[in-house]
């Protein structure tokens, strides 16, 4: 072998040692003494190798760690911050919705309470009341109390739908009867509003679903009443019953004022009104469509809207059909209610 220049030529008996030459290069050296058979020193054997490549590797690793570790920490911290923010967005959104819901509910509850209080205070300021004045005041208080009672009932229904387990108290409901009954019952409202209310049953057999009959009644009635309220005089509201694959389909079409595209994504939000003034004029609190959508979801269904401004709206309710639904000849004819104006 070769002996590097700059290393000491003096024999060192240490069996394992690290030595350096004059240029700062390090070497590992192993020394082994050689003996004769009678244990007399005969010589020595030294084997060594340079540590230059190892030192270069270690220096490279140190440089990578010195530069890469802070960058890795920055990337990990930034990624963790971004992921945490992404994970918290639904929580922030729910918190904002709760805040908005609380503010809207307080506002809606305050309105009838303030009106009732103002009516009572004005009555107390009167020195005397005749029978007709007292009756008028009591009628005003009654209307405000009815509005307050209805609002509280709607809020309780939404709260019950949010926590209600699926299929509790559900039974088989015939949608043919439900649609026919609702069209008959709401005929007076349609005639008073000078609106034509019709039904179109496109199935030849009774169409059944499993659900809460009262909730489904409330769902469809909300859609029909909404169509009547926002359809101008001389317009038309049509309730269509049909089926698609394994779903029952109820559509409520109107020729009303329509809903702007930017509002269609929010009309199912609680207390949301497309037009606050018009909603208050019709007595709406902004909960009708929210209740309808909540009932549809509680029945594993969906509620969608398609609307054009100045043309009208179409609300489509889809519900899973009952498994034990059977075929019968449908004996109800389409019903048409039209005002005489």
Q: Where along the chain do its domains lie?
A: 94-163, 171-337
Phi, psi of 45 (to 5 degrees): -125, 125
Predicted pLDDT at 328:
41
Please give the pLDDT value at position 164: 63
pTM: 0.59
Q: Residue length, the chain?
A: 341
**pLDDT averaged per 10 residues, the chain (length 341):** 68 75 77 80 77 83 90 91 88 77 72 82 83 86 83 79 64 92 92 92 89 90 90 92 90 90 81 58 68 88 90 92 55 48 44
pLDDT of residue 278: 45
Reading the block at residue 223, the tokens are 């859609």
Cβ(251)–Cβ(232) under 8 Å? Answer: no
Pairing of β 196-201 and β 236-244: parallel
What is the third-level CATH fold of 171-337?
A: Heat Shock Protein 90 (3.30.565)
What was the pLDDT predicted at 10? Answer: 67
For residue 320, how many other CB atoms are within 10 A of its CB?
15
Q: What DSSP state is assigned to residue 299?
A: T
- Token pair, residue 195, equals 């609106």
Sign of CA dihedral 58, 61, 66, 67: positive
Q: Which residues does residue 249 pair with via DSSP β-bridges, in sequence order?
A: 242, 318
DSSP 38: T
User: Interhelix angle for 131-163 vs 288-298, to 10°?
Assistant: 30
pLDDT of residue 167: 53
Tracing tokens 């005089």 back to the chain, one arrives at: 233
CA-closest candidate to residue 225, choices 315, 324, 97, 145 = 315
Q: How far apart are CA 264 and CA 286, in angstroms?
A: 14
- CATH 1.10.287.130 correct for 94-163: yes
């Amino acid at each position: 072998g070769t002996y590097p220049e700059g290393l000491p030529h003096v024999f060192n008996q240490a069996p394992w040692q690290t030595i350096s030459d004059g240029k700062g290069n390090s070497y590992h050296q192993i020394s082994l003494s050689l003996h004769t058979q009678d244990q007399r020193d005969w010589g020595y054997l030294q084997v060594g190798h340079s540590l230059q490549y190892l030192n270069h590797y270690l220096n490279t690793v140190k440089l990578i760690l010195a530069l890469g570790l802070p960058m890795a920490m920055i990337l990990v911290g930034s990624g963790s911050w971004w992921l945490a923010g992404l994970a918290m967005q639904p929580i922030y959104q729910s918190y904002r919705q709760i805040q908005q819901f609380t503010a809207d509910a307080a506002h809606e509850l305050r309105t009838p309470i303030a009106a009732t209080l103002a009516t009572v205070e004005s009555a107390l300021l009167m020195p005397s009341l005749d029978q007709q004045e007292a009756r008028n005041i009591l009628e005003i208080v009654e209307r405000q109390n009815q509005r307050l009672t209805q609002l509280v009932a709607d809020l309780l229904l939404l709260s019950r739908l949010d926590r209600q387990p699926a299929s509790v108290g559900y039974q088989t409901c015939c949608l043919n009867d439900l649609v026919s009954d609702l069209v008959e019952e709401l005929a007076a409202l349609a005639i008073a509003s000078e609106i034509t209310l019709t039904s179109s049953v496109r199935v030849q057999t009774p169409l059944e679903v499993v659900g809460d009959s009262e909730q489904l009644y409330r769902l469809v009635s909300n859609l029909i009443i909404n169509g009547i309220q926002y359809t101008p005089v001389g317009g038309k509201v049509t309730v269509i019953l049909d089926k698609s694959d394994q779903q029952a389909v109820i559509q409520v079409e109107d020729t009303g004022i329509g809903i702007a595209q930017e509002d269609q994504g929010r009309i199912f939000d609680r207390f949301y009104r497309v037009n606050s003034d018009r909603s208050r004029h019709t007595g709406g609190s902004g909960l009708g469509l929210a209740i309808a959508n909540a009932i549809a979801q509680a029945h594993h269904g969906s509620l969608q809207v398609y609307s054009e401004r100045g043309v009208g709206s179409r609300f489509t309710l889809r519900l899973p059909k009952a498994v034990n639904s059977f075929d019968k000849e449908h004996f109800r004819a389409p019903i048409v209610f039209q005002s005489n104006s």
